[in-house]
Amino acid sequence: MSPNGTNGTTEPKHGKMMSQNEYMPDLPAKHLNTPVEVTPSPEEKTTGHFNDANIKLFLSGMHRDGVVILKDIINPDHLDVINEFMIEDTKNELSKENLYKNFGAENIQQGPPLTPPKYFFDDVYLNKLLFHAVNLYLGPNATWNMVSGNNALPHGVKRQPVHSDAMCNHPPAPFYVVANVYTCDASAANGSTEIWLGTHHFNTEAQTPPGPKGETHITDEYVAERQKTLPGIQPTVKKGSILFRDMRLWHAGVCNKSDDMRFMIALGFSASWWHGTAKFRVPAETGVFERIIHGTKGQGITPLMIELPPEEYEKLRDAHDFSDVEKMTYEGEIF
Ligand SMILES: O=C(O)CCC(=O)C(=O)O
């Protein structure tokens, strides 16, 4: 420590303290209301590990804003293949009676295809840089317990209310993250998710009381207050990048005014100390289970999966039944 209490890196230069912008030029100033982008080098992509400078940037973005874009870590051609599948899948979905729409908006829950193998890409489901990011933010031995997806349907006219996916009592600490993988370029033009930077620091005090299905949203008062300083924004996320967000972050599915669907995969990870009950389903006897077990080995990630007969899996692929609520271990106590 220097006499003025700073460490070596922020040592006064010519009698003047370095500005935050000089110290971390890749960290956009808070008032710019722009998420941090972390771009790994070819070497980091090969090793599957971020270097120290990118770790510093990533953690700064996550702790300050609750969201970071991990740039260009998936081959976009792989996402084209999944997107093609989803276009056909959406036609089937839309023909279903009583199709459930998330918050009544033109946004539906759809799981991505895990089989046949031509749809299972390691850089989507077993991405080492993603796993490294999860471990950096949530600590070692995080569990992976959600695979789902959201489709913002074309020509949307109704948006979702601002909400947090942490709809239960939760600690004021990172305990769950969602990796959103858009299967197309996403921006305000086609309904990229509205995100409210820094709102992961709020807790249930900002939420409406839970409705019949446990759903809540952010109260009008809190939204109006935040709107004055750091309103929600729609990020531009290139196909191949991941929108990595703390589950507590306020966000909303907004109208996709374009002619094409905007699908995004959602992979969810929980801190090892969070006693959630969720598991994701995989089709049995297809090799998916084994591939995930092998692909997560040594990566500090424990996948929690249930194998189902393929027909049953297919029926439940689009289920809207994820819950992050903690397990009650005995009456009245959660630990
Ligand atoms: O699809 C999106 O952009 C976000 C959807 C969402 O937040 C939800 O359905 O709860």
Residue 155 to residue 263: CA distance in whole angstroms: 14
Does residue 216 line the site of ligand 1, with CB under 6 A? Answer: no
The overall average pLDDT reported for the chain is 92
Quick one: pLDDT at residue 177? 98
Q: Which of 67, 86, 102, 263 to mutate to test the pocket of ligand 1 (most atoms within 8 A of CB)?
A: 102
If one counts every other C-beta atom within 10 angstroms of the C-beta of residue 11, the result is: 11
Cα(331) to ligand 1 centroid in Å equals 33
The predicted-structure confidence for 170-197, as pLDDT tens digits, reads as follows 899 999 999 999 999 999 999 999 999 9
Residue 163 to residue 215: CA distance in whole angstroms: 9
Pairing of strands 67-70, 36-38: parallel
Q: Which of 101, 160, 187, 194 to mutate to test the pocket of ligand 1 (most atoms within 8 A of CB)?
A: 160
Residue 45 to residue 122: CA distance in whole angstroms: 13
Closest-CA residue to 125 (of 312, 319, 289, 321)? 289
Average pLDDT (192-219) is 93
Token digits of residue 249: 């972050």
User: 121-135, 248-262, 267-281 — which is least confidently predicted?
Assistant: 267-281
- State how far Cα 224 lies from the chain centre: 24
Closest-CA residue to 263 (of 189, 190, 182, 169)? 182
Query: Is 74 a residue whose pLDDT tops 80?
Result: yes
Does residue 150 line the site of ligand 1, with CB under 6 A? Answer: yes
Q: Which of 193, 196, 255, 264 to mutate to test the pocket of ligand 1 (most atoms within 8 A of CB)?
A: 193
User: 270-279, 293-302, 322-331 — which is least confidently predicted?
Assistant: 322-331
Residue 73 to residue 318: CA distance in whole angstroms: 26
Helix (H, G, I), strand (E, B) or coil at 298: coil
Token digits of residue 100: 């459930």
The protein residue with its alpha carbon nearest to ligand 1, atom 2, reads 253
Atom of ligand 1 nearest to the CA of 262: 1
Cα(273) to ligand 1 centroid in Å equals 26
Does residue 251 line the site of ligand 1, with CB under 6 A? Answer: yes
* Domain annotation for the chain: domains and CATH numbers: 33-319 (2.60.120.620)
Atom of ligand 1 nearest to the CA of 105: 9
- Read off the pLDDT band of 329 (50, 70, 90): low
Please identify which residue in the block is written with the tokens 């531009």.
236
Residue 227 to residue 231: CA distance in whole angstroms: 4
Query: Is 138 a residue whose pLDDT tops 70?
Result: yes
Q: Which residues of 174-189 are buried (b: 16+ CB within 10 A; e: fewer)?
A: bbbbbbbbbbbbbbee
If one counts every other C-beta atom within 10 angstroms of the C-beta of residue 305, the result is: 16
Residue 148 to residue 323: CA distance in whole angstroms: 12
Query: Is 2 a residue whose pLDDT tops 50?
Result: no
| Amino acid in position 78 | H
Atom of ligand 1 nearest to the CA of 152: 1
CB proximity list for 48: less than 8 A, separation 6 or greater: 128, 129, 131, 132, 299
Cα(1) to ligand 1 centroid in Å equals 46
- Read off the pLDDT band of 168 (50, 70, 90): confident
Residue 191 to residue 262: CA distance in whole angstroms: 7
| Amino acid in position 106 | E
